[in-house]
Structure 1
């Protein structure tokens, strides 16, 4: 029976995890394989700081995200935040260091994140992000590059059941920016992402949007379907004639994006999902998430955020994705590919110099040797 004092030694803080030797080896090999894939596409690894000044990022985070951030006060009395999402820390780092002549820039990352989760929601394996950012390449080609790299990543991990849902923050903004205040936009965003269509209808009634428009908006933002079904929806929307003219562009763009992906990767499981409007206010264009059966939330997420680097002084378009690697590691197909297969050789010799010499000769042949 463990005493309370000893039991406390075995506890770890909420939001952290520990790995066994075997798990760590497998995790590192998976990470190495992903970084090699990213590098083959021209994405070079970068490192972001573990903490930074909290007030810098406050305007970029919604209240729900702020509640998950770990904060601390340094010795000078400044309020800091621990890295809860690599994207924001990377945006600041790139925004302060890049110059126009450097563009486009492709970077990748693989790092721990630290965020608070409620105990009933906690999953011990959601705290390591791998991802990429393409900076300085706007439009269809940049978005396609990122989505095709995400598909290649899922293929490498043999996650054949993964489904990518693609939506548009631009569509949401075109439909509602002119008629809703910022606070109402945030509330409507939460309603759409929770897919609560009764509340959606009540909310739009409450801000004096007419019933025919509400019916159209519900038809649009509740839509999930294949590229063919999306084309049918697009045709039906034209027949309504109620959608703001500027909102048609994001729909046409999404149609072209999905058609392009299908022509290159017919087997990729893609869905147009117009309830995917981005979990953070800095998204400006496409947004997407990757889902796996049996998981309670998305394992991959990303999109376009053309104004984010501008917040840090360098205006450049950007698009990228992140994967919560530890969340999906147990689902990776052929996981044994990433296990340590090499035999560990033990050199025994009473003379340490002789043992060391033999071990070095074997190591040069690629063997793992212990003394």
Structure 2
């Protein structure tokens, strides 16, 4: 958990708004959800999280155990099942908010994760998966990132293989595969506990971490899919592999998706949650996914309303990190510091605010240049030689300072200032 200083908070808020507005443009309607719910309700949908990941407390009024949300998708599933059960389908919803999880490991620090995402309910076909994949790619681009990859997999490939293994062994194999520990995986599969597992299943599980590719070396994915088809032929994983291949082919045909696609059949994070296609989006910088999602057709049935569902979330801090690594431009809206005579400063600032420009009145004899620079005002308004002058704080670059006769009324001066601030880039170093 961390504080955000004004500039960081502004950038976070601007990024969240930009992404949420993009979702709305695609027909997804925003919903708002409580930061905590009764644990029994919330945990009904938490297939991906260990019980120790969830922060609980006793709700004072009811005495019930409540939990801070570690994921927003189960909350929206509960909302749909209880409040929107009779709504026409498909249902398209979007959200923005913060989840809180306990980090694993010795320190077990709390982790606060701001995110924005979408949920598509009532579309159980490849078309729904494709809509979500395309929207994820376009949202990442809208956030200012042009270079990223989308790792695409299918949760049921690994699950179908692990279902053919005794439960205790399957749990260990799932953990090892999630960690991508190849040497430990080989040791477990060679142990006496795996002696009765069909050799074809053993060979397929052993190969999962290596069934990844795409990109320039294998643009159509044929190397990975052909090898996987040979390994999975005659196993329960054959059908989900065919589903994934169909989605892959359709996604590759999309200009916004094709160049970014990669295959990863060994990705098991969230295995208990998803029932079909899964994907993670990566970009330079964070060293972790900037977005993730997939299909979870069984989730709503936990709340009494069976319905197919697919969605994804963007992790806003990771996206911001990737933007910084990519040198993505950030153009904040103008902010004007009005440092003119005391009788006129506030009316002029009010006139600017009335036109939608953030403005603050400041005494002209209290170092307005330093104040504007410290608090990142893009423009400074001064009074010189009978004119109202719009200029940049020292060290900032706003070409062509504008001068307006001081005899004009505040509304006219404000109009002139607004035209100038919107015609030049904000004064950033």
TM-score, length basis structure 1: 0.84
Of 287-296 and 313-322, the range deviating more from structure 2: 287-296
Q: How does 1:280-319 map to 2 (within 5 A)?
A: 280-319=271-310
Q: How does 1:40-55 map to 2 (within 5 A)?
A: 40-55=25-40
Is 1:257–2:242 an aligned residue pair?
no
User: Which residue matches 2:375?
Assistant: none
Q: CA shift at 1:348, angstroms?
A: 5.0
User: Which residue matches 1:367?
Assistant: 357
Greater gyration radius: 2
Is 1:136–2:122 an aligned residue pair?
yes
Is 1:340–2:326 an aligned residue pair?
no
CA 1:119 to 1:185, structure 2 compared with 1: closer, same or farther past 3 Å?
closer
Aligned 8 A contact 1:92 1:309 in 2: yes
Alpha-carbon distance between aligned partners in 2 of 1:233 and 1:340, rounded to the nearest angstrom: 44
Q: CA shift at 1:121, angstroms?
A: 7.3
Q: How does 1:206-245 map to 2 (within 5 A)?
A: 206-207=193-194, 208-226=196-214, 228=219, 230-239=221-230, 242-244=233-235
Question: Unaligned regions of 5+ residues in structure 2, if any?
Answer: 362-429
CA 1:191 to 1:144, structure 2 compared with 1: closer, same or farther past 3 Å?
same
User: Which residue matches 2:260?
Assistant: 269
Q: CA shift at 1:228, angstroms?
A: 4.7
CA-to-partner distance for each residue in 1:53-102, whole Å, 9 max, x for gaps?
11334454469632221110122321111111111222212221122442
Of 139-148 and 189-198, the range deviating more from structure 2: 189-198
Higher RCO (CA < 8 A, seq sep 6+): 1
CA 1:345 to 1:309, structure 2 compared with 1: closer, same or farther past 3 Å?
same
SS in 1 for 2:237: helix
Q: How does 1:1-371 map to 2 (within 5 A)?
A: 16-58=1-43, 60-61=45-46, 65-75=50-60, 76-117=62-103, 127-181=113-167, 183-205=168-190, 206-207=193-194, 208-226=196-214, 228=219, 230-239=221-230, 242-244=233-235, 246-265=236-255, 268-332=259-323, 333=326, 335-337=328-330, 339-346=331-338, 350=342, 357-371=347-361
Alpha-carbon distance between aligned partners in 2 of 1:268 and 1:29, rounded to the nearest angstrom: 28
Question: Unaligned regions of 5+ residues in structure 1, if any?
Answer: 1-15
Alpha-carbon distance between aligned partners in 1 of 2:162 and 2:271, rounded to the nearest angstrom: 16
CA 1:370 to 1:124, structure 2 compared with 1: closer, same or farther past 3 Å?
farther
Q: CA shift at 1:237, angstroms?
A: 4.5
SS in 1 for 2:294: strand
User: Which residue matches 1:4?
Assistant: none
SS in 2 for 1:113: strand
Alpha-carbon distance between aligned partners in 1 of 2:51 and 2:159, rounded to the nearest angstrom: 23
Richer in helix (by share): 1
Alpha-carbon distance between aligned partners in 2 of 1:24 and 1:101, rounded to the nearest angstrom: 36
Aligned 8 A contact 2:338 2:345 in 1: no
Q: CA shift at 1:187, angstroms?
A: 2.7
Question: What is the number of equivalent residue pairs in this alignment?
Answer: 351
CA-to-partner distance for each residue in 1:11-35, whole Å, 9 max, x for gaps?
xxxxx21111111111111111111
Alpha-carbon distance between aligned partners in 2 of 1:241 and 1:49, rounded to the nearest angstrom: 44
Alpha-carbon distance between aligned partners in 2 of 1:160 and 1:122, rounded to the nearest angstrom: 35
Alpha-carbon distance between aligned partners in 2 of 1:116 and 1:87, rounded to the nearest angstrom: 18
SS in 1 for 2:53: coil
Q: CA shift at 1:157, angstroms?
A: 2.4
Aligned 8 A contact 2:229 2:241 in 1: no
Q: CA shift at 1:294, angstroms?
A: 4.2
